[in-house]
């Protein structure tokens, strides 16, 4: 497979704008077989390359005292934030999610009731401004905090039907927030446990692969199955292979099932993993409980470099896992014995 690069253009205008033009960052040794006519049709409706989005978060009360583009100061956590999103991709539906200190939160959009998933439609080359308010449970203090903003395309589609093996399905940004009166010497209050994965050699770029291949000695990071069938409430074990970023050693792994953060590894919202060698790939596993209700669910994951480190001049790119469908079949209905009296 050819080696490709991600092109990122950055502009600073009363907020933060990052535009992504997506190309495959994986350097995997896999078969480059030609797609079937069915898949080609799907790709035409859901194009892959040369597409992108831009995102800006701004507010009239936001201030910056730094040259760091993804850092800002708010007067209050409940100041209205405006998420400005441009779609250079295709006519589609999207879903917006927010995470405060990497835990998914409810939020209000334009004064409406709270939601964790905000769905909207947007045509190609159009933009939208989404006013959001964070929950009242978030209080201002003197510590820095993180706001992760994620927008995913085609939330109602399933990989089991599209068969794209794609990690190019949205844009995610990691912002550092501080409040008026903050102490610049303060560090993040969270001290999560750090896990040490196995360090392996793989032809892998800075990226993330989640799959059901539990063979640590596999020579390639294979794509996950388009659809993985699990039982209701089953404890599922999956493997991750995480490629390193230059100047980063600690990474946060969080998993979403149908755009809701799922608890992993003994009910934790995320896992911190350490990859100290930039020439190695981290291999490990995590567990979660499958949904109880039958149906098809999209599973994705994000890998955030240096999540609890203060922003610096280093611009780390967040990796997305290859999207796949988690299928939960109908429960067995069983049989009922009916006695007919004669």
In the chain, the number of structural domains is 1
Is residue 152 domain-resident? yes
Position 15 pLDDT exceeds 50: no
Is-above-0.85 flag for pTM? no
* pLDDT for residue 85: 96
* pLDDT for residue 266: 87
CA distances from 176 to 59, 68, 143, 165, 260 (A): 15, 10, 11, 32, 22
Identify the band that residue 298 occupies on the pLDDT scale cut at 50, 70 and 90. very high
Return the half-sphere exposure (C-beta side, CA atoms, 13 A cut-off) of residue 297: 25
Q: pLDDT tens for residues 87-114?
A: 998 899 999 999 999 999 999 998 888 9
Measured distance CA(109)–CA(97) in Å, rounded:
11
Share of the chain above pLDDT 70, in %: 78
CB 241 within 8 A of CB 204: yes
- pLDDT mean across residues, the chain: 82
Q: pLDDT tens for residues 17-74?
A: 444 433 333 333 233 333 333 333 333 444 443 358 999 888 776 666 555 668 888 8
* pLDDT for residue 40: 36
Q: In 10 A of CB 67, how many CB atoms?
A: 8
- Give the tokens for residue 241: 């292979």
Position 83 pLDDT exceeds 90: yes
Contacts with 302 (C-beta within 8 Å, 6 or more apart), sequence order = 148, 150, 172, 208, 252, 253, 254, 256, 318, 319, 320, 321
Q: pLDDT tens for residues 118-136?
A: 999 999 999 999 999 999 9
Q: pLDDT tens for residues 133-166?
A: 999 999 999 889 999 999 999 999 999 999 999 9
* pLDDT for residue 3: 29
- Give the tokens for residue 341: 């009296």
* pLDDT for residue 70: 80
Identify the band that residue 182 occupies on the pLDDT scale cut at 50, 70 and 90. confident
Residue with tokens 């835990």: 103
Is residue 341 domain-resident? no
Share of the chain above pLDDT 90, in %: 60
* pLDDT for residue 35: 33
Q: 168-190 burial string, b = 16+ CB within 10 Å, else e?
A: bbbbbbbbbbbbeebeeeeebee
Is residue 2 domain-resident? no
* pLDDT for residue 256: 98
Is residue 1 domain-resident? no
Q: In 10 A of CB 267, how many CB atoms?
A: 8
Contacts with 339 (C-beta within 8 Å, 6 or more apart), sequence order = none
* pLDDT for residue 61: 63
Would you say the C-alpha torsion 296, 206, 105, 193 has a positive or negative sign? Answer: positive
The widest CA-to-CA distance across the chain, in whole angstroms, is 89
- Give the tokens for residue 196: 């040490």
Measured distance CA(182)–CA(238) in Å, rounded:
40
Measured distance CA(306)–CA(139) in Å, rounded:
24
Is residue 340 domain-resident? no
* Gyration radius of the chain over CA positions: 21
Is residue 238 domain-resident? yes
Measured distance CA(72)–CA(297) in Å, rounded:
35
* pLDDT for residue 30: 33
Is residue 338 domain-resident? no
CB 266 within 8 A of CB 288: no
* pLDDT for residue 313: 63
* pLDDT for residue 62: 65
Q: pLDDT tens for residues 203-251?
A: 887 799 999 999 999 999 999 999 999 999 999 999 999 988 888 999 9
Is residue 126 domain-resident? yes
Q: What residues are paired with 117 via a beta bridge?
A: none
* pLDDT for residue 44: 42
Q: Which of 120, 114, 52, 29 is nearest to 83 (CA)?
A: 120
Which residues constitute the domain of residue 263? 7-328
Q: pLDDT tens for residues 300-321?
A: 999 999 999 887 766 788 999 9
């Amino acid at each position: 497979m050819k080696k490709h690069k991600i092109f990122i253009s950055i502009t600073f205008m009363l907020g933060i704008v990052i535009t992504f033009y997506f190309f495959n960052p994986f350097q995997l040794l896999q078969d480059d077989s030609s797609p079937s006519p069915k898949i080609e049709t799907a790709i035409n409706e859901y194009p892959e390359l040369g597409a992108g989005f831009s995102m800006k978060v701004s507010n009239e009360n936001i201030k910056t005292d730094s040259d760091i583009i993804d850092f800002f100061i708010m007067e209050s956590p409940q100041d209205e934030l405006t998420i400005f999103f441009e779609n250079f991709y295709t006519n589609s539906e999207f879903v917006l999610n927010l995470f405060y200190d990497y835990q998914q939160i409810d939020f209000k959009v334009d004064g409406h009731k709270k939601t964790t998933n905000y769905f909207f439609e947007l045509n190609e080359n159009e933009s939208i401004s989404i006013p959001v308010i964070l929950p009242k449970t978030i209080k201002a203090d003197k510590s820095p905090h993180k706001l992760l903003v994620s927008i995913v395309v085609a939330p109602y589609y399933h990989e089991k039907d599209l068969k794209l093996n794609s990690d190019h399905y949205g844009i995610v940004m990691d912002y550092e927030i501080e409040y008026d009166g903050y102490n610049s010497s303060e560090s993040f209050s969270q001290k999560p446990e750090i896990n040490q994965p196995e360090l392996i050699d793989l032809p892998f770029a800075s990226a993330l692969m989640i799959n059901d291949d539990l063979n640590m000695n596999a020579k390639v990071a294979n794509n996950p199955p388009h659809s993985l069938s699990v039982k209701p409430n089953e404890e599922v074990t999956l493997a991750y292979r995480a490629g390193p970023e230059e100047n980063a050693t600690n990474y946060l792994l969080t998993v979403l099932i149908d755009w809701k953060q799922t608890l992993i590894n003994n009910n934790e919202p995320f896992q911190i993993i350490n990859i100290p060698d930039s020439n190695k790939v981290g291999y490990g596993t995590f567990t979660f409980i499958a949904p109880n209700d039958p149906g098809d669910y999209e599973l994705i994951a994000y890998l955030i470099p240096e999540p609890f480190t203060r922003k610096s001049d280093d611009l780390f790119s967040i990796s997305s896992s290859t999207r796949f469908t988690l299928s939960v079949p109908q429960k067995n209905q069983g049989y009922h014995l009916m006695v007919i009296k004669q």
